[in-house]
Amino acid sequence: MVTKIIKIDPDNPDKEALKEACEILKSGGLVAFPTETVYGLGGDAKNRYASEKIYAAKGRPSDNPLIVHIHDFSELEEIAANVPDSARKLADRFWPGPLTMILPKNNVIPLETTGGLDTVAVRMPSHPVARALLTLSNVMVAAPSANTSGRPSPTLAEHVEEDLSGKIDCIIDGGPVNIGLESTIVDLSSPVPTILRPGYINKAMLEEVLGEVNIDPGILDSNANKNIRPKAPGMRYRHYAPKGDLTVVEGDESVVIKKINDLVEKDKKDGKKTGVIATVETKDMYHCDNVLVAGDRNDEYTIAHNLYDVLRKFDELGTEKMYSESFETPKIGMAIMNRLLKAAGHRVIHAEDNKSVLRLQDFRRVIFAAGNGICRAPMAAGILIKLLPENSPVEVLSRGLVVPFPEPLNQKSEAVMASNGISFEGFESRELLNEEITDKTIVITMDEKQRKFILDKYPSANENNTRVLAQMAGEELETMDPYGGSLAKYGLCFEAMKTSLQKVLSSGEE
């Protein structure tokens, strides 16, 4: 198939030029078009064959529903089983615009379009080209982002061409999109409106109209707790994945820059091609092969606008190791970080300022928390008790994160401890309790996943009082998990934790 490209002035779309695209839509074909969020790949939402073609062109799993684009509110009434007041209020305030609402559906839209769900996602885009196409064709257009499934969403017509040329009938080139990240999705079919995907329209803006709004816990950190599944099927897939390894580095600007440069130096020694996602403020401070500027911290929307293009550029450059600053900006930060963390497969490093190292000795209680609490946590506790002076007022505990019933020590852990003169007679594992994290407590985990798990689950845990052992010790690698390994492996793990704890204790000394 030859894909026809129609160039169009985004501010003043020429109706004549759009006629052909309208005909394609009416006859069940596919047209990619610009919207204010990203480019969409459109087909007639009422025509199940058109929807099937969309899935095929994108290589998209067929259980991942499409968003139906409309140009008039009456179309929402035509396809929703009922239209609650909340939908009317949101439409009054934000439509046309980058907001998608989920409502119960009737039979007008086929299940092929909604990925088999009995709800339908609806949006009224504001981009003049999208509006002209929808109005002139009078077709309700089912459109996901116009990228190959798994690649960053397209923010330029060239991105669509890269992915879909030869697979679809037509691309309307209206230049760069405005926002650069997909629409906010809010589920109005649940008792409390719930954000399923963060976007330009943020929680505060929705709350101004609706009062209480929830955020689907699955979108905040899908890796931290595998039991929480995001409600929008699309958010379950690893989208936006660049070809190389991307890691997000969080922390204060100066420590982040130093940390990234250290990591890049190591990668270079390994012969890797390196890249950094930076801002105009920091771009000259990195020593990697390619620094790409996402935007300007003084104008957070520029970062959203360029993010996907930057990710695609790294693919073109063949970058193998990429690092990104973190962009927890006030308004669109949640949407940026949601996409960036997905692209990074949730690989995050917290850059710590070594000068402000914690003094373990200053805490009243140190809790080692890991897994089921019978292996690394008690070993670490045993080591620390030995390292601290005998009359130390610090209470050292070990806890598990998932302890359905109390268990004795892991036998190999017990053996390794015994050979180092440590014994925990009558030990039984216990699950970490929120009340145990009091004022002068520090919780130490073995890895970042456990730390995130605790931050999510325990209200008393925070970024300051919950830390990862290796990071506290300034080490790159997280503590190894010897579980299922030989006695020697447990021995190695013991020694590694001892070294880490010695470093932590000595770094806290003046």
Contact of residue 482 among ligand AMP, Mg ion, none (CB under 5-8 Å per partner type): none
Closer to ligand AMP by CB, 119 or 500: give it. 119
Which of Mg ion, ligand AMP, none lies near 109, with the C-beta cut-off 5 to 8 A by kind?
none
Tokens of 298: 């003084």
For 398, the token pair is: 């070990």
**DSSP tag of 295:** E
Residue 135 amino acid letter:
T
- 351 counts as binding ligand AMP under rule CB under 6 A: no
Q: How far is the CB of 125 from ligand AMP (least distance, A)?
A: 12
Asked if 410 interacts with Mg ion (CB under 5 A), we say: no
303 in contact with ligand AMP (CB under 6 A): no
Long-range Cβ contact pairs of 209-217 (< 8 A, separation 24 or more): 209/89, 209/90, 209/93, 209/94, 210/86, 210/89, 210/90, 213/186, 214/190, 216/187, 217/456
Give whichever of 47 and 465 is closer to ligand AMP, judged by the CB atom.
47
Please tell me whether the peptide bond between 406 and the residue prior to it is cis, using omega within 30 degrees of 0.
no
Q: What does 233 interact with, of ligand AMP, Mg ion, none (CB < 5 to 8 A by kind)?
A: ligand AMP
| Residue (71 or 151) nearer to ligand AMP, CB | 151
Give me the 132-151 binding string for Mg ion, x by CB under 5 A, dash otherwise: -------------x------
Q: For residue 7, which amino acid is it?
A: K
| Structural tokens at position 130 | 């999208």
The answer to whether 155 touches 305, Cβ cutoff 8 Å, is yes
> Of the candidates 445, 415, 408, which has an alpha carbon nearest to the alpha carbon of residue 429?
408
Nearer Cβ to Mg ion, position 309 or 448? 309
The number of residues that bind ligand AMP (CB under 6 A) is 20
Assess 358 for contact with ligand AMP (CB under 6 A): no
Q: Which residues of 28-54 are buried (b: 16+ CB within 10 A; e: fewer)?
A: bbbbbbbbbbbbbbbbbbbbbebbbbb
- Decide if residue 119 touches ligand AMP (CB under 6 A): yes
CA 165 – CA 378 distance, rounded (Å): 58
- Shorter beta-carbon distance to ligand AMP: residue 67 or 277: 67
Q: Is 429 in the site for Mg ion (CB under 5 A)?
A: no
Q: Which residues are bridge partners to 442 per DSSP?
A: 366
Sequence length of the chain is 510
First to last CA, the chain: 71
CB of 153 to Mg ion, least distance (A): 5
According to DSSP, residue 465 is labeled T
Interface map 183-202 toward ligand AMP (x if CB under 6 A):
--x----------xx-----
- Of 215-274, binders to ligand AMP (CB under 6 A) are 231-235
Measured from each CB, the residue nearest to ligand AMP is 234
Among 76, 102, 132, 307, binds ligand AMP (CB under 6 A): 102
The binder of 319, among ligand AMP, Mg ion, none, by C-beta within 5 to 8 A per type, is none
Closest to ligand AMP by CB, 235 or 341: 235
**Are 310 and 277 a contacting pair, CB within 8 Å?**
yes
Of 103 and 454, CB closest to ligand AMP: 103
Among 42, 43, 144, 333, binds ligand AMP (CB under 6 A): 144
279 interacts with Mg ion by CB under 5 A: no
The one of ligand AMP, Mg ion, none whose footprint includes residue 465, by CB under 5 to 8 A per kind, is none
Angle at 505 between CA 500 and CA 508, to 5 degrees: 125
What, of ligand AMP, Mg ion, none, does residue 450 touch, CB below 5 to 8 Å by kind? none
Q: Which element (helix H / strand E) includes 248?
A: strand 245-250
In the DSSP assignment, the letter for residue 299 is: B
Q: Which residues contact 316 (CB under 8 A, 6 or more apart)?
A: none
* Window 55 to 94, contacts with ligand AMP (CB under 6 A): 64-65, 67
Q: Report the distance separating Cα 325 and Cα 420, nearest Å.
A: 42
Report in angstroms how near the CB of residue 37 gets to ligand AMP at its nearest. 8
Instruction: Confirm or reject binding of residue 47 to Mg ion (CB under 5 A).
Output: no
CB 39 within 8 A of CB 29: no
- The binder of 279, among ligand AMP, Mg ion, none, by C-beta within 5 to 8 A per type, is none
Edge-to-edge strand order for the sheet containing 441-445? 395-399, 365-369, 441-445, 466-468
- Decide whether 102 or 130 has the Cβ nearer to ligand AMP: 102
Decide which of ligand AMP, Mg ion, none touches 199; Cβ closer than 5 to 8 Å per partner kind.
none
Is residue 306 close enough to count as binding Mg ion by CB under 5 A? no
- List the beta bridge partners of residue 324: 248, 277
Binding site for Mg ion (CB under 5 A): 145
Binding site for ligand AMP (CB under 6 A): 64-65, 67, 102, 114, 117, 119-121, 144-145, 182, 185, 196-197, 231-235
